[in-house]
Amino acid sequence: MRTGHSRIRRWLAGLAFVLLPVSACGDLPRDPEGSLERARGSVLRVGASGAPPWIARSSAVGPLVSGNADRSVEDPATGPEADLVRGFAHSIGSRVTWIWGPLDEHMERLQRFELDLVAAGLTEQTAWQGKVGLTTPWLEEAGWKRVLAVAPGENALLTALERYIRERTDALRSAADSVGAP
């Protein structure tokens, strides 16, 4: 019995040895691809698809340049989801580069870390669930849980965005009411 107890004590001590320094670091989780760090003081690359009234392009005709990322156009997006993303970007000292396009393309790019977020009126039930990171719902209305998509595994970015969302649940609710959500 004695040897057994000392063994238990030994591995508990070992575990504490491993965990304590780790939990002392407040900056966990970190991003494997460094998205949050890169976005700070720079741009947040957001793939957007029109999903009124949550997010829409203010001018239907934008200067679309065909081709790759140059398609990004800094036209102001409107709607509560757009405001949420803009507000978050501001909170981390970043600004949003909106990239408008079809959702499937955005999601493919998000998985290749060519985008940081996708805002497209997504719900928690999206078919992309499991392939990309989904935030906690920023709005629950009529049984729909509205979420944003984050590059997969970029947990620092996801955590920062979720903290931002959780702090603003009420404000988001009233913003949604003002655009006529049920």
Partner 1 sequence: MKVRHGFELPKELEPELRRAVRLEWTTLGFMVSIVTVIYLAMGGSQAMKAAWIEDLLSFIPPVAFLISTRYRDRAPNADFPYGYHRSVSIAFLAGAVALALFGGFILIDSVMTLAHREHPSIGTTVVFGRTIWAGWLMVAALGYSMIPPLILGRLKLGPARALHDKTLKADADMNKADWLTGGAGIVGIVGVGLGFWWADAVAAGVISLDIVKDGFQNVKRVVQDLMDRSPTTVEGERSDIAERAREALLVLSWVQHAEVRLREEGHVFTGEAFVVPTCFDATDLPTRFDEARDRLHALDWRMHDIVLTIVEADELIGDESPETS
159 binds partner 1 (CB under 8 A): yes
Q: How far apart are CA 93 and CA 171, in angstroms?
A: 21
Q: How far is the CB of 20 from partner 1 (least distance, A)?
A: 11
135 binds partner 1 (CB under 8 A): yes
Of 44, 56, 115, 158, which lies in the binding site for partner 1, with binding defined by CB under 8 A? 158
Q: How far is the CB of 132 from partner 1 (least distance, A)?
A: 7
What is the side-by-side strand order in the sheet with 43-48?
95-100, 43-48, 117-119, 149-150, 133-134
9 binds partner 1 (CB under 8 A): no
153 binds partner 1 (CB under 8 A): yes
Of 10, 13, 15, 125, which lies in the binding site for partner 1, with binding defined by CB under 8 A? 15
**Backbone angles phi and psi of 98, in degrees to 5:** -80, 135
